[in-house]
Chain A
Amino acid sequence: MPRIEWMLACELAYFDRHARVCMVGVTTQLLLPSLPLSMRQLMIVARLVDRAPGQPLDVGFAIATPDGRWVGPSNEDEIHIEVASEYILITVRDLPFKQEGMYRFGLRVDPSQFVSLDIPVLVMSSSSPLECH
């Protein structure tokens, strides 16, 4: 039975020509300049283990806001899920952030296992303008 060993969020992830995964900008929190904001792209990488070769996967993915609502991009084209041997790459485009707090990214590859990744979304405090002498 396949299971998710780990999951992380990053700015960009891709497979190189040797089918090895590359991850750029792994993040544990999102610092945004202001809210509301639509994030152009966020990627979730999950590592799968115990998957038999060629075994089909029923992948479920959802995002929960700090107030517990499950949301996603408004258009189906804005979530792309790529499964390659032992990795799942999820691209989320134009993800709407409306409030600060903990966002939960949930992934399921098996009805009995739901793995989530909690990412705090914070607004960077605007600093007072520098005085020049």
Chain B
Amino acid sequence: MALVDWALTCDFAYFDATGRLCVIGADANGLRTVVSGTHRLTLVAHLVEYRDDPLDPVLALRSPEGEWRLAQEGTDYTRERQGSAVLFHLSRIQLIELGTYRFELALGAAAPTMLELPVVVREHRGQRVHLHAAY
């Protein structure tokens, strides 16, 4: 049974032409801070004790209010795997409520590996625009 050794959230991750993992914009302190809205992000999970068995991942998102929502593969996320790395691409994820969202990832049913990756949502601040005119 595969176990998640470590995981992170990032802007984007992909496998290059030779199957090597590339990670762009991994979050500091393992914590992603975003403004309230719709976001795209990628979860990278590194596996140990894996074989080529199917992973059967269950990805869930808990809102700051404590509500759980299961992410559906195909609609909420797409998945890629090369060897010990698994990528979960969340192309349009709504992080609206202020506070801390938590992802939890479980692999398989027998001995699930729970994983928490917090995302902090902060209030959107409008841009200040200063107009300067020449007289």
- Chain A positions within 8 Å of B, measured between CB atoms, are 5-6, 10-11, 16, 18-28, 47, 85-86
Contacts and interface: CB of A to CB of B under 8 A. Distances in A.
A114 to B, nearest CB: 18
Main secondary structure of the interface of B (DSSP, over half): strand
A110 to B, nearest CB: 19
B25 A26 contact: no
B83 interface: yes
A105 B6 CA distance: 19
Which of B10, B11, B28, B46 has the largest number of chain A CB atoms within 10 A?
A: B28
Contact of A20 (B5, B22, B27): B27
B85 A18 contact: no
Nearest to B5: A6
Contacts of A86: 28-30
A18 B46 CA distance: 24
B20 interface: yes
Interface string B1-44: 00001100011000010101111111111100000000000000
B20 A26 contact: yes
A18 B32 CA distance: 12
Contacts of A28: 83-84
Contact residue range for chain B?
20 to 34
Contacts of A18: 25
A10 B30 CA distance: 20
Given A5-B6, A6-B6, A25-B16, A20 B21 contact: no
A22 B28 contact: no
Given A6-B5, A6-B6, A6-B46, A27 B29 contact: no
Contacts of A6: 5-6, 46
Contacts of B85: 26
Contacts of A24: 16, 22
B26 A21 contact: yes
Nearest to B27: A20
A22 B23 contact: yes
A5 B4 CA distance: 13
